[in-house]
Structure 1
């Protein structure tokens, strides 16, 4: 097990006010960007301090630039240059502001969203910029999250994912802003998470809410035994497709009504799917969340209409921004299907498509046909260049089944053009720190590129 930090709303509010005051004292103004470092225990910078600094900066209109904590200097430098920040804070500098900054009054609501860089599956990283919101728009943005997820002052929210991604910040900040408490493990550790869900910490009762990705659920169930979560009212998961057997196991293991899925991206939130909807529409990611409208083009591209306070642009990239928007609708290039009742099923990303013999094959469909079968745990389908077919369908998987068994199962359940031509057993699939599959890395990892 790993250590955990408990951050109360009262302690966080003090840090927020001091950091915000320190940034203003150092010349930061509304709309300025400030690079916030990742937690660094050696420099005295705890996760709760970083989270509070992000929220405090936003409540005076200063936009924190939140970068991946594992970036090398050569990867980080161009992102910092692109963000053009007023300040690039070191861990020590931020820790000092949190301790000694001159406290200031804060707006009741965050006046912006952090500037996150996201590259999707291909291409150079792009900054997602929401600008600075007027007070009514800021209140509307906060209210739609609070109303959907029912943040409450008696919540104990468990953070499972790194704080350099948008969703964990949103859920943790929403909890703090209504007076709740946040529990932050040093890193994701299944035994620690299980303990906080079941028994809480020495300072809190058991967790009432958490956000995670499917890979976290896999690791939690891999511990064996029953998962206890006596006070859990909300487990929200997103970030990657959830295999249907895993979703069913999660629904069965956790308190009734607690398991929710949503679909969205750094750019914006799109759907929400409660447990009853998940049972009635297995495999769906739900319907448009309040204030949103969904549409799927003839080519399968998903478009989502959003209210003005949820608009974004790509930082200093008008070309990409224009391609992402049609009037009030945006797309991140994901593909899917809508049924007559408005429920959305995902088919993957356009960049993930395998086009074999001129026919589109959606990796997610092939993966769902195989995951959870005997001897097959996790599956990733990808394309490899092929002189005859343009691309051939291949897969990598974890589990005990032999490759020929996997291919035979695929042949029994998939049309010929969807059947993988090769199956490669691996010890682990390549994932990002938040559990997203690095699908396009697989040909190189397996020596097929």
Structure 2
């Protein structure tokens, strides 16, 4: 990483000042409470400041991957009808002036992240606005669980438009800690940042750990004693990678958790995992996890953990049910809970592909490619990949050629969603009821 690209640790005071300037800029442009603001910026402090400015003044930030194609982004923007779209650093800069607006002590809502699910239609996960008591409780829950403090330096490895890295970064800043953002993850860039910045916390996905461990087989490890918290999630973690992380950072430092864009389920320390191999931990404080007759996991949450799908009451109703512990939601994952309350995942949502920590929904990819001339039908599935966990593969019936399919994917899909392999087949394997057997593929 060249020195001009190397991240610096931005203090909470600097970040708050930048967010206050953004809030004033939004006000000058007529953006009022309740308005949506699309934030589609490169990974950096600007993205974090824009989100903080919104949630702390009653506007709703909608973080989007800047790599989304027009085909992907258009329906989302139409759905949320934003007052402003921040899709370049130049547009971000236009908001900045001498004015500063005061920020609330606690965010009034969660950012609205989009997730596709099995329908292929991305939908926003909307927390609604919190009252002062719930807003404070939401911040304190994260702070008490992860120990965010003014002495922290949070190193951001993942794209901040994802919910988990954004939660860790903003949670650190709200506790008056500093934040440093890697523009993109490389093992070399990570090692250089550790030596220079001495970070205390980070969120990562297993693919980051896998690449780091492979790099350290041939390169000296930096001094990692600065870390008090290394949290990983976002994809199943292979045991050798998990044990490698435990050895590298220390079992008192490494945690993993299980959650989704919709909400958080569990947290698990390294010693707990060693005592209960295969678990993703116990329910986070204030939550109760149970399973139904179909082994689907449901999580009862406190008021600040509730959500709806934006403009989709039907899908919202399917995700929630009343339980003796209060309203509980599901994202369709299957698992079990043992007598001590430890949760074990048996399978993720039936067709979800997790590639490098990024959720890829086959229905969304299929919808983008089924209209390609020469495609009769198409099925997308995940195949095991040593580096990324899974890679996206497409099997199709028809006489379309691979180059045409690749070009259509390039135009319509962001890079993580584009199939890495295409296989022409005479017919797709189906169940008696006509569903595609992805496991057979």
TM-score by length of 2: 0.78
Give unpaired runs (5+ residues) of structure 1. Answer: 40-45, 354-362, 365-381, 383-393, 400-425
Per-residue deviation, 1:120: 3.3
- Please list the CA deviations of residues 95-139 of structure 1 after superposition, one character each: whole Å capped at 9, or x if unmatched: 221x31621111001111111111135521111001111111110
- Please list the CA deviations of residues 400-441 of structure 1 after superposition, one character each: whole Å capped at 9, or x if unmatched: xxxxxxxxxxxxxxxxxxxxxxxxxx9994269xxxx98996
Q: Aligned match of 2:248 in 232, 253, 256?
A: 253
Aligned length: 369
Aligned partner of 1:161 in structure 2 is: 158
SS of residue in 1 equivalent to 2:257: strand
Contact 2:63 2:113 (8 Å CA) reproduced:
yes
Question: Do residues 243 (structure 1) and 238 (structure 2) align?
Answer: yes
Aligned partner of 1:89 in structure 2 is: 86
Change (3 A) 1:441 1:194: same
Change (3 A) 1:13 1:350: closer
Aligned partner of 1:314 in structure 2 is: 309
Aligned partner of 2:35 in structure 1 is: 32
Distance 1:234 1:427 in 2: 23
SS of residue in 2 equivalent to 1:100: coil
Q: Aligned match of 1:67 in 50, 64, 68?
A: 64
Contact 2:65 2:161 (8 Å CA) reproduced:
yes
Contact 2:12 2:177 (8 Å CA) reproduced:
yes
Contact 1:128 1:315 (8 Å CA) reproduced:
yes
* Map 1:271-420 → 2, pairs under 5 A: 271-327=266-322, 328-352=327-351, 396-398=383-385
Aligned partner of 1:10 in structure 2 is: 13
Considering Cα pairs closer than 8 Å and 6+ residues apart, tell me whether 1 or 2 has the greater RCO: 2
Distance 1:438 1:149 in 2: 29
Aligned partner of 1:195 in structure 2 is: 192
- Please list the CA deviations of residues 63-103 of structure 1 after superposition, one character each: whole Å capped at 9, or x if unmatched: 11111121011211110000111222342221221x31621
- Please list the CA deviations of residues 240-291 of structure 1 after superposition, one character each: whole Å capped at 9, or x if unmatched: 0111121111111113411000000111011000111111011110000001
Distance 1:59 1:439 in 2: 33
* Map 1:80-229 → 2, pairs under 5 A: 80-91=77-88, 92-97=90-95, 99-100=96-97, 102-120=99-117, 123-197=120-194, 199=195, 201=196, 204=197, 206-225=198-217, 227=221, 228-229=223-224
Distance 2:293 2:329 in 1: 16
Per-residue deviation, 1:398: 4.8
Contact 1:233 1:255 (8 Å CA) reproduced:
no
TM-score by length of 1: 0.77
SS of residue in 1 equivalent to 2:258: strand
Distance 1:428 1:281 in 2: 23
Distance 1:50 1:350 in 2: 30
Distance 2:235 2:280 in 1: 11
SS of residue in 2 equivalent to 1:31: coil
Q: Aligned-pair RMSD on alpha carbons?
A: 2.6
Distance 2:275 2:296 in 1: 24
SS of residue in 2 equivalent to 1:85: coil
Contact 1:293 1:305 (8 Å CA) reproduced:
yes
Distance 2:259 2:310 in 1: 19
